[in-house]
């Protein structure tokens, strides 16, 4: 059995004693950063993941990719990411497919205030070149014939938004990174970051210690735990969000349908299944990822109102994942007071779609280059300075 | 399973032997073959969770009732481990498919 031996040698990769950079976290953000650093020829890069790749928020997310944001920064970041998703299979030489489907995002405004916000958002988005338009409820129905437009004031639609398969995107970055020499160590948990006079010296893991000057924290909702290893407090908290998937059926829904005021989103994947989720305003911060019956009932009530035929489909599985929420729903990107420690966290539920641009920007910052998008406003210091960039459009 | 066994294929243009693993279905809901599983293991995907995520093995309407054990056995063989050392994939609610509309059609009184 030659294939069995090949496998054994792969998993026996020993932890290196030294590295030029260690990435903590094997989700889509960490693998994207490792790949982009390797592409820049940064040197020996090790990625440590305490379980398997994409086991956390990346593999649990709603998989959407949108450019319809309420702040200039989020728009610019997502425009760049969409471009990357469009050519990702090719760029990463991925042998499978990331299943990027640009069916658009249809956002529904249910209140007058929300409609006002959408008008403002659309002005901003169009200025930045995003091909978005305002739609009347009946125009929205032309795009989604199964949509119930009761109480819908207006809608916005951007045809180049869409979704991709988060497992494949993570594995695509990981395999492309490995090809460039990145060492990926799964089931390897970082439990301490060693420092000397305020500078990073290395990472301690359950498999051994790696000496390094550069540590990048991409630990998603566990980034707070990582930052505390060097005594840093980051003002964010994990929040559970639940989600479910149905059996697959023929394609009937092109875009992702979403409402901020009613806090739901629903899409049909290329595979045919419907994936939908809802935020719960009563959810308390915490690391629990258990599923609840209440979610199933609430989701069923909401989706049968908005997309009535979907009520005929059976749910095959429900699960939950964690958002890493910051006070302004923008990520924390860049250096920290601890020299050599960089943060890429706090994505507040939209880390998957920002993974390509995050990898690029963090690799630029680590290489001491001027980031190709001005993200000075997204540093950790903004919370102390009180310079928050509030995003109004999140589920 | 099926080691060294081949199917004699008489399809015109394809005459010869077909590796049985190419036509042996492990996951019937999502049409995943034994060969796909073996190829992934050879690529280094040695956990059931990873293989599930790439192939959708076990993600269909039956939620792995048939394929979960087969997948674990295949990984165990490749790693030369006992099958009880291989972590199974997570069981998720609602265990059996239920219609979304059905969830909200009844009310509390129906539960008796």
Please give the ipTM for the structure prediction.
Answer: 0.84
B68 in A contact zone (CB under 8 Å): no
Distance from CA of B50 to the nearest CA of A (A): 7
Torsion on CA atoms A86, A92, A97, A103, rounded to nearest 10: -10
- B47 interaction partners in chain A (CB closer than 8 Å): 52
Please count the residues of chain A: 395
Q: pLDDT tens, A154-185?
A: 999 999 999 999 999 999 999 999 999 999 99
Q: pLDDT tens, A353-385?
A: 999 999 999 999 999 999 999 999 999 999 999
- A313 interaction partners in chain B (CB closer than 8 Å): 99-100
Residue B2: band (very low, low, confident or very high) from pLDDT cuts 50, 70, 90: low
Distance from CA of A312 to the nearest CA of B (A): 6
Closest partner residue to B94 (CB to CB) among A54, A96, A315 is A315
Q: C-alpha distances in angstroms, A376 versus A73, A232, A362?
A: 10, 19, 12
What integer pLDDT is reported at residue A9 of this predicted model?
37
User: Residues in chain A with pLDDT < 70?
Assistant: 1-12
Closest partner residue to B101 (CB to CB) among A168, A312, A318 is A312
Distance from CA of B98 to the nearest CA of A (A): 5
Q: What angle do CA A369, A372, A373 make, to 5 degrees?
A: 125
What is the DSSP code (8-state) at residue B91? P
C-beta of residue B98 within 8 angstroms of C-beta of residue A318: no
Using an 8 Å CB-CB cutoff, list residues of chain A that contact chain B: 1, 3-4, 6-8, 10-11, 52-55, 59, 96, 167-168, 171, 245-247, 271, 291, 293, 296-297, 299-301, 303-304, 310-319
CA distance A24 to A168: 20
* CB–CB contact B54 A167 (8 Å): yes
Q: C-alpha distances in angstroms, B17 versus B1, B32, B38?
A: 17, 21, 19
Q: Does the pLDDT value for residue B112 go beyond 90? A: no
CA distance A280 to A263: 8
* CB–CB contact A311 B99 (8 Å): yes
B77 in A contact zone (CB under 8 Å): yes
Among chain B residues, the shortest Cα distance to A60 is held by B53
What integer pLDDT is reported at residue B11 of this predicted model?
67
- B103 interaction partners in chain A (CB closer than 8 Å): 296-297, 300, 315
What integer pLDDT is reported at residue B22 of this predicted model?
85
What integer pLDDT is reported at residue B107 of this predicted model?
61
Closest partner residue to A315 (CB to CB) among B41, B78, B98 is B98
Residue B9: band (very low, low, confident or very high) from pLDDT cuts 50, 70, 90: low
* CB–CB contact A304 B78 (8 Å): no
Q: Pick from B38, B40, B100, B101 the residue to mutate for testing the A interface (most A CBs within 10 Å).
A: B100
CA distance A256 to A161: 8
Distance from CA of A304 to the nearest CA of B (A): 7
Residue B95: band (very low, low, confident or very high) from pLDDT cuts 50, 70, 90: confident
């Amino acid at each position: 059995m030659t294939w069995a031996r090949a496998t054994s040698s792969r998993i026996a990769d020993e932890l290196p004693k030294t590295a030029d950079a260690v990435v903590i976290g094997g989700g889509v953000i960490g693998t994207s950063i490792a790949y982009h650093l390797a592409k820049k020829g940064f040197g020996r890069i090790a990625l440590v993941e305490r379980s398997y790749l994409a086991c956390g928020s990346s593999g649990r997310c709603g998989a959407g990719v949108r450019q319809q944001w309420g702040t200039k920064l989020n728009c610019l970041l997502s425009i760049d990411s969409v471009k990357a998703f469009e050519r990702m299979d090719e760029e990463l030489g991925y042998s499978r497919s990331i299943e990027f489907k640009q069916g658009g995002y249809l956002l529904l405004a249910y209140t007058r205030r929300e409609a006002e916000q959408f008008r403002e958002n659309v002005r901003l988005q169009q200025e930045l070149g995003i091909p978005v338009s305002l739609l009347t409820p009946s125009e929205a129905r032309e795009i989604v014939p199964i949509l119930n437009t009761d109480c819908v004031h207006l809608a916005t639609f951007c045809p180049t938004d869409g979704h991709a398969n988060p497992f494949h995107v993570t594995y695509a970055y990981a395999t492309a990174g490995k090809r460039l020499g990145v060492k990926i160590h799964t089931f390897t948990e970082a439990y301490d970051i060693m420092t000397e006079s305020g500078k990073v010296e290395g990472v301690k893991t359950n498999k051994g210690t790696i000496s390094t000057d550069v540590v990048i924290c991409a630990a998603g909702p566990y980034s707070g735990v990582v930052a505390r290893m060097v005594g840093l407090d980051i003002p964010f908290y994990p929040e559970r969000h639940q989600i479910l998937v149905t059996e697959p059926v023929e394609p009937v829904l092109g875009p992702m349908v979403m409402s901020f005021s009613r806090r739901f989103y629903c899409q049909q994947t290329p595979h045919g299944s419907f994936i939908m989720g809802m935020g719960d305003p009563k959810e308390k911060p915490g690391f629990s990822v258990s599923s609840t019956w209440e979610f199933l009932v609430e989701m069923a009530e909401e989706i049968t109102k908005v997309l009535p035929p979907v009520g005929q489909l059976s749910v095959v599985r429900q699960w939950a994942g964690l958002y890493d929420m910051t006070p302004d729903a923008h990520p924390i990107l860049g250096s920290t007071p601890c020299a050599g420690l960089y943060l890429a966290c706090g994505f507040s539920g939209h880390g998957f779609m920002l993974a390509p641009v995050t990898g690029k920007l963090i690799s630029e910052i680590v290489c001491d280059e001027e980031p190709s998008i001005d993200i000075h406003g997204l540093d950790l210091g903004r919370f102390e300075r009180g310079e928050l960039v509030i995003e109004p459009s999140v589920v | 399973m099926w080691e060294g066994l081949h199917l004699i294929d008489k399809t015109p243009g394809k005459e010869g032997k077909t590796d049985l693993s190419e036509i042996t279905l492990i996951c019937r809901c999502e049409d995943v073959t034994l060969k796909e599983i073996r190829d992934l293991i050879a690529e280094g995907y040695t956990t059931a969770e990873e293989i599930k995520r790439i192939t959708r093995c076990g993600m269909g309407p039956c939620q792995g009732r048939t394929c979960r054990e087969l997948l674990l056995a295949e990984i165990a063989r490749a790693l030369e481990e006992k099958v009880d050392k291989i972590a199974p994939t997570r069981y998720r609610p609602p265990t059996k498919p239920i219609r979304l509309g059905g969830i909200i059609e009844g009310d509390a009184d129906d539960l008796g």
